[in-house]
Amino acid sequence: MRIFAGGIITETNTFSPVPTGYEDFISSNEQDQDLPNECLIMRHLQTAAQQRQWEITPSFIAVAEPGGVTTRQAYEQLRDNLLEDLRQALPVDIYPLDFKMLLGDK
């Protein structure tokens, strides 16, 4: 099974006057040990894939702390990067939107 993995995660609070920009996102590609759990799930997914003998093509998971509305520029840049990674990975059998289902978490 060929799996593509990547995503964009944030919590938007429309009452916040401070927009969430591209620079507010942290990526799972970063080597920082203090990454949010949502970024670290990519590492767990890669381990689970190896155990099940799945072929996985990881992209990135970009996570921003809860904040104001995400700027159009930030969203479009992240979206375009993710879609380009997906195009390069094709063909794939699955692109999970909820990685926990693959890891067996409830």
Whether 70 has a pLDDT exceeding 90, the answer reads: yes
pTM for this model (two decimals): 0.80
Chain centre to alpha carbon of residue 22: 14
Residue 19 has what pLDDT? 97
Predicted pLDDT of residue 35 = 61
pLDDT exceeds 50 at position 106: no
CA distances from 96 to 10, 17, 57 (A): 17, 32, 12
Q: Which residue has the higher pLDDT, 96 or 90?
A: 90
Residue 83: pLDDT band with limits 50, 70, 90: very high
pLDDT at 58: 86
- Residue 29: which of 40, 21, 15 has the closest Cα? 40
User: Mind listing the pLDDT tens digit for each residue in 8-59?
Assistant: 989 999 999 999 999 999 887 765 556 667 666 777 788 888 899 999 898 8
